[in-house]
Amino acid sequence: MAAFTDKKERITALMHGKDRPGIVARVSGWIYARGGNILHADQHHDNENGIFFQRVEWVPAGGVAEEVELFKKLAEGELEMELKISVSSAKPKLAIMVSKFEHCFIDLIMRVRMGELDCDISCVISNHEKLRALSETFGLKFYCVSVSAENKAAAEARQIEILRECGADLIVMARYMQILSPEFLRNCGAPVINIHHSFLPAFAGAKPYHQAYRRGVKIIGATAHYATADLDEGPIIAQDVTTISHRNTVDDLIRKGRELERTVLASAVRWHLQNRILAYKNKTVVFD
């Protein structure tokens, strides 16, 4: 048999459901029996709630489409698991929502261009014109949809129309300084990742660096999370912190925080694109 290489198409399955003996053996045995080669397998047991989580990535020996359908029957039927399954040849389409701050926006673009994030940027949606020229320099479709209290429902309807036209598989709020309504999140057609410039749950809401400065904290952080109807309370994907001192000004906190925002958001987007995140209730399991 020819050696497997990373260039071969891969299937990745994320599963969770009621924990019971034999799940790992059944999944690995099923892949082995069909001649597949497992590249990655990891699992987690939530002993408190009796829930089993697994990520398995493999190179199939036969047809990919057929293997996907047969595995669905195994996971959802026999094992009674909730399943998310993907194939490596299907490159996701990323939609970026941004207002005026460009640090996370530019960072995402460069990581995509360098191949660090395996996706295509399908569109950029903003409520300001400031980043149009920069977007078009990189050949990106830019849509400006102004948002106010009076037109919010109509503006979000237009944004949803754009997202569906562009086929977005993932929406990233790269410092998009608007609150997305529950209606938008229900109808946008893709998961939404937000970067919040604070180590949540501390300093939620507006101007967290100013809040942190007034409180005199010794660390500040950034949090990437899935957006939900509850503001800044969605499942947390990635976080990081840096130290500060009494000598640091608000501007220092903002500068240090923006460095964190870039790396934390990039990590969350990368893990999502690699199908390493399982969201359950209001938590996430992020597989190595």
- Measure the CA–CA gap between 33 and 137, rounded to whole angstroms: 50
φ/ψ bin of 2: left (φ > 0), alpha (ψ from -120 to 50), beta (otherwise):
beta
Token pair 């996907």 in the structure block, residue: 68
The active-site residue out of 42, 118, 232, 252 is 232
Concerning whether 230 is annotated as a catalytic residue, the answer is no
**Beta-sheet strands, E only, within the chain:** 11-18, 37-46, 51-59, 82-87, 93-98, 120-126, 142-144, 170-173, 192-196, 219-226, 236-243, 277-280, 283-286
For CA atoms 270, 272, 274, 276, the dihedral sign is: positive
Report the Cα 277 to chain-centroid distance in Å. 8
Q: Vertex 279, ends 67 and 8: CA angle to 5°? A: 30
β-strands 283-286, 277-280 pairing: antiparallel
Distance from the Cα of residue 197 to its chain's centroid: 16
**Closest listed residue to residue 275, CA positions, set 111, 55, 24, 119:** 55
What number of other Cβ atoms are within 10 A of residue 5's Cβ? 7
Pairing verdict, β 142-144 and 120-126: parallel
**Which of 184, 157, 189, 175 has its CA nearest to residue 96?**
175
What amino acid positions are annotated as catalytic residues? Answer: 232
